[in-house]
Homo-oligomer: A and B are copies of this chain.
Amino acid sequence: MRYSLSIGKIAGISVYLHWTFLILVGWIMMGTLQAGATWIDAMWSLLLLATIFLCITLHEVGHALMARRFGIATRDITLLPIGGLARMEALPEKPREELLVALAGPAVNLVIALILFPFVQRIDPNLAMSSIGAVNFVPALFGVNIWLALFNLIPAFPMDGGRVFRALLAFRTGYVRATRTAASLGQLLAMVFVFAGFALNPFLIFIGLFIFLGAQAEAGMVETRFALRDHTVKDVLMHEVPTLDDTASMRDAACRLLNSQNKNFLVLHEGQPVGILTRQDIITTLRTHGDKALVRDAIDTKLEYLNPGMPLDKAWSKMQSEHKPMMLVMDEGQIKGAVDEESIEELILIHTARSQHN
């Protein structure tokens, strides 16, 4: 995520702090001092905040380590003011694995609470962030961990509880349908959060919006991935691939861009493919080196090829993870054409339209 500060690694996974976090820190400091507290009290509040976010990080590490057991790597963990976010390379698709990965997070908070329990004398349910000191620090942390476990188990997909709910559904109805149902419940609960936020705590409004958009995005992604599984690279193969010579200038490339609806070009050197030039490459190079720069200096020369029989979801993942908006398709040593992100998106649109007609 952009605008994030790297704060180290846990179990080999980079942890980032998002800049909006500063808002939370400022808000707590202001609230504490406004409530008549001293700077020392405010420091205790910040220490609790830092400890809470350590617990949230451990919660995410719980997910990540369980996912690793099933062969899924975690790219990084980002701490937002409304909680943590672990970005995994893939998502577990076997219901049993998803269930275990989803439960691993809240389990971590329960374990922390169990460890703290012997040191807790009395739990004050009305504890406020502004009244934290040496005496009630541990009880507060205990309460927060219980709350983190329970809150995350609310079945509002894509929260942990929602993933548990999807996994349980998926045992019976299949992954796509389970996701659709879980996402609908998630969006309904998200709206409840937004409503409740007006009355109780503005943070709930943000959490609600986050869940609402997250449910929509993830449900869409699942449908896309499953739609792509029914197709191979051959189904979106573009036979018409515009070419550019590697000795052409950026001025030429910009003209070619404007002269047709093409965005991505195959670059040739003496008739042999040497790279792909995208619209973004042209814009970036015009900005940094101007009109006279040559195409050959702007291209990524590491060409990768797809073959026509490759399942389309694999091709899509490959293009995404290598950040290549267009790839060439090779069959028996011959170039058959190219595939770009847009044709894959078009296939999904066409596929969805056809299935809605039938």
Residue numbers of A with Cβ under 8 A of B are 23, 26-27, 30-31, 195, 197-199, 202, 205, 235-240, 242, 254, 257-264, 279, 282-284, 286-291, 340, 342-343, 346-347, 349-350, 352-354, 356-358
> In the complex, A151 Cα to B239 Cα: how many Å?
59
Residues of B within 8 A of A352 (CB): 287
| Cα–Cα, bound, A125→B263 (Å) | 60
Shortest beta-carbon distance from A351 to chain B in Å: 10
Q: Which of B202, B254, B357 contacts A289 (CB 8 A)?
A: B357
The answer to whether B343 and A286 touch across the interface, beta carbons within 8 angstroms, is no
Contact A261-B259, Cβ < 8 Å, known A27-B198, A197-B202:
no
A352-B254 Cα distance, complex, nearest whole Å: 13
Given B27, B263, B286, which contacts A354 in the complex, CB threshold below 8 Å?
B286
Q: How far does the alpha carbon of A257 sit from the alpha carbon of B240 in the complex, in Å?
A: 11
Contacts A30-B199, A198-B202, A349-B283; is A354 near B290 (CB within 8 Å)? Answer: yes
Contacts A238-B261, A259-B238: A284 and B353 contacting too (C-beta < 8 A)? yes
Q: List 14 A-B pairs, Cβ < 8 Å.
A: A23-B195, A26-B195, A205-B205, A238-B259, A238-B260, A257-B346, A258-B346, A260-B261, A283-B350, A284-B353, A286-B353, A288-B357, A290-B357, A291-B354
Instruction: Check if A240 sits within 8 Å of B259, measured CB to CB.
Output: yes
Contact B202 A287 (CB under 8 A): no
CB distance from A346 to the nearest CB of B (A): 6
Minimal beta-carbon separation of A237 from chain B (angstroms): 8
Expressed in whole angstroms, the Cα–Cα distance for A45 and B236 within the complex equals 59
- Bound state CA distance, A264 and B261, in angstroms? 8
Contact of A239 among B259, B283, B346 (CB under 8 A): B259
Contacts of A26 in B (CB 8 A): 195
Chain B residue numbers with a CB within 8 Å of A286 are: 350, 353-354, 357
> Once bound together, how far apart are the Cα atoms of A186 and B282, in whole Å?
33
A316 to chain B, nearest CB (A): 15
Shortest distance in angstroms between A168's beta carbon and chain B's nearest beta carbon? 32
| Beta-carbon contact of A261 and B242 below 8 Å | yes
Q: Give CA–CA (A235, B258) in the complex, Å.
A: 8
Residues of B within 8 A of A287 (CB): 352-354, 356-357
Contacts of A199 in B (CB 8 A): 30-31
Nearest 7 CB-CB pairs, A to B?
A: A286-B353, A287-B353, A240-B260, A290-B357, A261-B262, A202-B202, A283-B353
Which B residues touch A240, using CB under 8 A? 259-261
Q: How many whole Å from A285's CB to the nearest CB in chain B?
A: 8
How far apart are A259's CB and chain B's nearest CB, in angstroms? Answer: 6
Task: For A350, list chain B residues within 8 Å (CB).
Answer: 254, 257-258, 282-283, 286
15 new A-B contacts at CB < 8 Å, known A23-B195, A261-B261, A289-B357: A30-B199, A31-B199, A198-B202, A202-B205, A235-B258, A237-B258, A238-B258, A240-B259, A258-B347, A260-B262, A261-B342, A283-B353, A286-B350, A286-B353, A287-B354
Bound form: Cα–Cα A358–B292 in Å:
12
| B-side contacts of A239, CB under 8 Å | 259-260
Most buried by B among A30, A261, A349: A261
